Structures are given as C-alpha cells and as structure tokens.
Structure 1
C-alpha cells in the first residue's frame, strides 16, 4: 500500500474542521433539546410516550432517509461549502418554525422541515474532512468532529432544561437557530472548498461513466465490507439514540429527580464523558492502527462490550443518592452512566475513518450519506419510537418503571453490531489476502 502524499496540515484545515464541528453540534442540540421538552410537550399537547417518540425521532428520520442519499449525491457534484451555507440558513428557519408551532401536528411538520435542510450536513462534512486530513490522522479528526455533538449534549440538556423551565420550550428552539445563521454566513463568504481526493492512497481513476443515484448506491451496497460496516453503525445508533433521548425522563421516573436536575446530570455526565471518550478513541485508533489496521475494528468492538455492560448496570442500579452537589441530588447510578457514555462512542471515529478509506473520493459523500441514512432510520427514527412503544406496552405491569425495562430491551441489540463488525473484519481480511496474492 502506498503512503499518502505528505502535505502540511495548517490552521485553515483546523479552522474548517472547527466550523464543521460547530455546525454538527448545533444540529445535534436541535435534536437533543427535545429530550428535556418531553414532559412539558406531553402536558401542553396531551400526547403519549409513543407520540413523543414520533416527534423526537421518526418524524425527523423519515424525511432524512428519503433525502439523505440525494443530498450526498449533491455534495459529490456541487461546491460543498456553498451547499452547507444554504442548508444551514434554511435549517435555522425551520427550527424557528418548531418554536412557533401551535399544535402537535404543526410541530411534527416543522421537525420534518428541519430534517430536509439538515440532510446534506454530515455526508458533506465527512467528505470535506477526508480531503483536509490524511488517513493516519483522520480518526482523531473525525473524533473531534463527532465529539462536538457529544459535548453539545451539555448545552442541550443542561442549558436546555434551564431555558425550558425558565422561559418555555419555544424559546429553546429560537436560541438553537441563532448559531446556524452565523455558520451559514461563514460558509458562504469565508470558507473555500478543498480539492477532492487530496489524500487518496490510490492514484485517481480515469473518468467513469455517470451512473444514476440508485445504481451508485447499489454498487456501494454490493461491497460486503462496506455493507456490514454501515449496518453495524446503524444498529448501534438504534440503542444509542434511544438511551440519549430518554435518559433524562428515565432519571425523572425511576430516580425521582426534578426535570431540571435530570437534564443537568444527563447533560454534564453524558456529554463530557462521551466527548472525552470520542476524542480518546480517535487518538487511540490513529496510534494503534498505524501499527496494525485491525484496530479500526478492534476499538469499536471493545467499546461495545464495555459500554453495553455498563449500560445494563446503569439501568438496573437502585435509586439511592450518592451525594448532593449544590443542592442537586446525584444518584450513585451516575457512575455507571459516566462509564457508559465514555465507552459507547468508541465506534464513531474508527468506523467513519474506515468508511472513507473503502470508497473513492468521487463517491465519498454518497457513501457517507448512505451510512447516515441507515443510522438515522435506525437511531433517530426507530430507536426513540420503539422505546416509547415498549414503555407504553409495559406500563400495565411496571407503571413508572416501564421505561427502565424498555431501555433494557433496546440495549440488548448491541450484540448485533458486534457480530457485524466481526464480519467486516473477515471481509477486509479476505480482501487483504487477495491483494497480497495479486
């Protein structure tokens, strides 16, 4: 395998990465802030847990799934920074519309509009990151990008809970829209699009005939290693989003905490530990994979094993109080919550980095978009909704504890991505043997 060309990584690359991370963080705040609105929204609109799973997940994911692949295709053919400028502006306007919703149906429609304009963001950003950092530094760069939303959980849950409590849930939506306007202006007038394929390990191919959107996606899906990796990421987010979206409500119902304190704890503990875990796993992967590429699979596997185990302990831990911090009761279960958040994100940086290496630059955004579609459908769409359905179904037997057992059932699905990651490793190992023989 050829060594990628040596090229300096300067402040422009780091600055662009920071801007992309801030965009992703703001998008994620817009998703996660609903977690601290569940109880007030249920009261105002008189809806069930299942309905809240719809507005917090499926209403967003259904539209995202439909438009994610065309958005990735656009990113492969249009100036990427200009595409992000337009989508950020329209995303901000749709978020404001969420705050202006006068009925539950209007809120659902507004959430669907948010999904429309957010659809290009992840695939476009990943395509750009792959062109400003070489493979041996890419896991940590992607970890920095994906760690921003985990740190933004602190804003979404802590600050969001305070804003919702003090000023109402509508004001929280208005506040989330403001940073997107500034990001849109920077992408439109300041940032330049980097050259595509700058750090590709293989020489550029001769121009290929243009294929249709579905044909291009089909060719990508036909690659066994890519397919298994994408499915592993998607099913991981199924339980991850369910846990993230319902964690504050779990603390309210099973540990008797006020909503504001539950949001603060879930945001601080979950956000900080997940952010540190993402950065650490990205650094560790770059360090170990340089010596043995198998660690791009090994790090996610270890993270799933440890994160899944600590999540089960967290959900089953009794509701005793460990300490009081400035009047805020801290359950002893939060120790397991911290470990769960730290380990559960170990898959992100290595998996995305490996994905960008499996496809050529001209299809990178489409490949990431296809992965994002699967993850969004499984995670944002089905995860929170399935948890709400299970919680409602278990209510006759477990009452307020039904959410605890619903989350336990959802978390058991982590064994599936572990098996898929192992299959990915087997496919990659087979390809390596073929290449060596050739």
Structure 2
C-alpha cells in the first residue's frame, strides 16, 4: 500500500471569513435592522394624520404603536429563536423581512382601526424574526471581545431607521398621504431580503468562540476554531432559563433594558403628536426634528456605548453594566428638561443631549 493510500483522509476544513466579508455581513444586517425600525416606528411620526383621517382616539393610536405591534413581536421572539438554533438563520431573516415589509405596505390600504390593527400585528410577526437569528449570526462571526462593538453597530440600525422613517414618513405624509408613506417605505425591504439571502453564508455554530493557539492568523482573516463550540442539540428552554436567570447580573441587565424600552417606546409614540399639538408644527417639520436631531444623537450614543464598553471592559467586566446605567441616569432629567420648554426650537436642540446618553445601553446590554 502506498503512503498516499495509507494516509488518513483529511478532516473537513472550517470555512474562513475575511474581515472584509464579516464587515459586509454586519452592515447588511444593519440595513435589515434599519428597515425594521423604519417600518416599526413610522407610525409614531404620521400617527396624527392617521388619527384625523380614520377618526381615532389617542387610546387607539397608542394601541397601534404599542400593543398591536408588540403583542406578537415579543411573544414570537422565543419560538423563532428556537427555530434559529436548528435551521438556517439566513433563511429565517430573509423570510421575516418579506413578511414585515409586505404588511407595512398593506397598512397603507387600511380603511379602519380594525384592519390597521391586523396589519400591524402582521408587522410584529415579521419583525420578530430578525434580531434573534441576527444576534446569533453576529456572535458566530465576531469573537467575544468584539461583540459589544459589533452589536452596537448592528443596533445602529435603530437610530438610522428612526431617522429615515421620521424624515421620509413625515415628508411623504405631508406632501402625498400617510397611506403612500407606508407603501413607499415598506416595499424596498424585499430587495434587502433578497440581498441577504444571496450574500450571507451560515457560519458553523460557535465559530468564533474557540480558536486554537497554534492557528496562524492570515492577513484579513480570523483564526479558525478547532470545533464549533455549540452543542449538536441545543439545550431546552428550561435549561437556558435556569442558566441565564440564575445569574443576578443578567437578571438586572434584562430588568434595566425592559424599563428603558418601556419608557422609550411609550414616550416615542407621542413625541411627534406632542410637537404638532403643542407648537402647531406640520408633519414634515416634525419628521425632520425627530429624524435628524434624534437620529444623529441616538446613533452617536449607540456606537459610543458599544466601543466605550469594549474598551473599558478590558479592565473590568463591570463596565458592561456601568456604561448603560450611567447613560440612562444622565438621559432621564435631560428628557424632562426638553418637555418643559415653551419654544420648540429650544426643545428640539435639547433633544441632542439625552439621545447620546440614552442609547449607550444597546451595545453592552446585547453583548452581555
């Protein structure tokens, strides 16, 4: 028998991903998250126009922006995440984008409160399918020491989506109609779904969690894990819950982000109507205020929180909790100051400050 015949067959090689490819994957997911938030929050900007046209109450307007969307968005997140542990995360994300984009466009066809509620429920169903598999993909493409930064870049889709949704939605609603705003911002998401499906590859589970010390790092490439860190069969939901909620630090982080989100979404739903009713501004102006000013501030805070935490976290893991805590403590009184102003120009200018501190919690919290 020859030496070649006697040699054992070579083990399958793990795929290698260049830094450029991983960065492109990350920004495609940012683009998806941007459309996610455009379609999610546009109703807060054009809500006053919807309220007048469909003769809604403020309670109904609040339900459209809150419960009608969140009811299925929150409850479906866990089962979708479980499917993402067993099936293609890229396929789940692509399908989810098509679903929520289609239902967003359908919102422009609604002729009653009931039909608009049903379409918003559909938006919630679709949008529940993005972040669980997206967080999983990012965690496989980026090793732990870079995850807060990577997830803060992904979370940059929140201020980008809020900004474009507010500016475009306000302008379209002012110059065309609120119905056209839903259709125009909804349909392009289908192209994003197609791009993700064609470009993003499924990395092995746990790809970035283990890297052997003797594997050389090639230019533009990461070290390759010897074996995927994820088990062949995902643990049960009960086992996962026991592990994560058995740690007080994790529980406190979840409680903190829950309270922060409660306040953020609650006030955000009525920011635009407040400025319209209080100062007599039109939809386009209000969209510009909350799009540009709010978007820039929130974007800066989101990126700052992630990169600052990864930098400070090298010295102590406590900074993954301290950065969000300090940011929210500073933001709260600044928000109150905004809504005590009698001049909308001063109020709008002051919005720059709390947004920077408010959104520092996103990257480090998701990183944890």
Please give the range of the TM-score, normalised by the shorter of the 2 chains. Answer: 0.7 to 0.9
The reply on whether 1:254 has 2:278 as its aligned counterpart is: yes
Q: Is the 8 A contact 1:91 1:117 kept in 2?
A: yes
The reply on whether 1:98 has 2:112 as its aligned counterpart is: no
Q: Which of 67, 91, 101 lines up with 1:82 in the alignment?
A: 91
SS in structure 1 of the partner of residue 110 of structure 2: coil
Once residues 133 and 207 of structure 1 are traced to their aligned partners in structure 2, the CA distance between those partners, rounded to angstroms, is 18
Once residues 119 and 108 of structure 1 are traced to their aligned partners in structure 2, the CA distance between those partners, rounded to angstroms, is 17
Q: Which residue is equivalent to 1:393?
A: none
CA shift for structure 1 position 221:
3.3
Once residues 203 and 229 of structure 2 are traced to their aligned partners in structure 1, the CA distance between those partners, rounded to angstroms, is 19
Q: Which of 199, 212, 233 lines up with 1:190 in the alignment?
A: 199
CA shift for structure 1 position 211:
5.3
Q: Deviations over 1:294-325 (max 9, x none)?
A: 111111111011111211111112x23xxxxx
Q: Is the 8 A contact 2:206 2:230 kept in 1?
A: no
Once residues 179 and 129 of structure 2 are traced to their aligned partners in structure 1, the CA distance between those partners, rounded to angstroms, is 26
CA pair 200-334 structure 1, distance change in 2 beyond 3 A: same
Q: Deviations over 1:307-361 (max 9, x none)?
A: 11211111112x23xxxxxxxxx6112232110111100111011111xxxxxxx
Q: Which of 215, 239, 248 lines up with 1:224 in the alignment?
A: 248
CA shift for structure 1 position 274:
0.6
SS in structure 1 of the partner of residue 351 of structure 2: helix
Q: How many residues matched?
A: 338
TM-score by length of 1: 0.73
CA shift for structure 1 position 265:
0.8
Q: Which residue is equivalent to 2:164?
A: 155
The reply on whether 1:265 has 2:278 as its aligned counterpart is: no
CA pair 209-38 structure 1, distance change in 2 beyond 3 A: closer
CA RMSD of aligned residues (A): 2.1
CA shift for structure 1 position 161:
0.3
Question: Max radius of gyration: which structure?
Answer: 2
SS in structure 2 of the partner of residue 150 of structure 1: helix
Once residues 206 and 271 of structure 1 are traced to their aligned partners in structure 2, the CA distance between those partners, rounded to angstroms, is 37
**Which residues of 2 match residues 302-317 of structure 1 at below 5 A?**
302-317=326-341
SS in structure 2 of the partner of residue 78 of structure 1: coil
**Which residues of 2 match residues 35-434 of structure 1 at below 5 A?**
35-200=44-209, 207=231, 212-213=236-237, 216-217=240-241, 219-317=243-341, 319-320=342-343, 331-354=345-368
SS in structure 2 of the partner of residue 196 of structure 1: coil
TM-score by length of 2: 0.86
CA shift for structure 1 position 199:
2.4
Once residues 158 and 94 of structure 1 are traced to their aligned partners in structure 2, the CA distance between those partners, rounded to angstroms, is 21
Structure 1: segments with no counterpart, 5+ residues = 1-6, 321-329, 355-438
Q: Deviations over 1:130-189 (max 9, x none)?
A: 111122222121111111220222211112101011111111111122232112112222
CA shift for structure 1 position 245:
2.1
CA shift for structure 1 position 278:
0.9
Q: Which residue is equivalent to 2:25?
A: 16
Once residues 59 and 72 of structure 1 are traced to their aligned partners in structure 2, the CA distance between those partners, rounded to angstroms, is 21
Once residues 351 and 143 of structure 1 are traced to their aligned partners in structure 2, the CA distance between those partners, rounded to angstroms, is 9
Once residues 243 and 303 of structure 2 are traced to their aligned partners in structure 1, the CA distance between those partners, rounded to angstroms, is 32
SS in structure 2 of the partner of residue 77 of structure 1: coil
CA pair 209-175 structure 1, distance change in 2 beyond 3 A: closer
Once residues 207 and 190 of structure 1 are traced to their aligned partners in structure 2, the CA distance between those partners, rounded to angstroms, is 26
Structure 2: segments with no counterpart, 5+ residues = 1-15, 212-226
Once residues 233 and 174 of structure 2 are traced to their aligned partners in structure 1, the CA distance between those partners, rounded to angstroms, is 56
Q: Deviations over 1:238-287 (max 9, x none)?
A: 11112222211221223332232122111111001110111112111111
CA pair 139-213 structure 1, distance change in 2 beyond 3 A: closer
Q: Is the 8 A contact 1:95 1:111 kept in 2?
A: yes
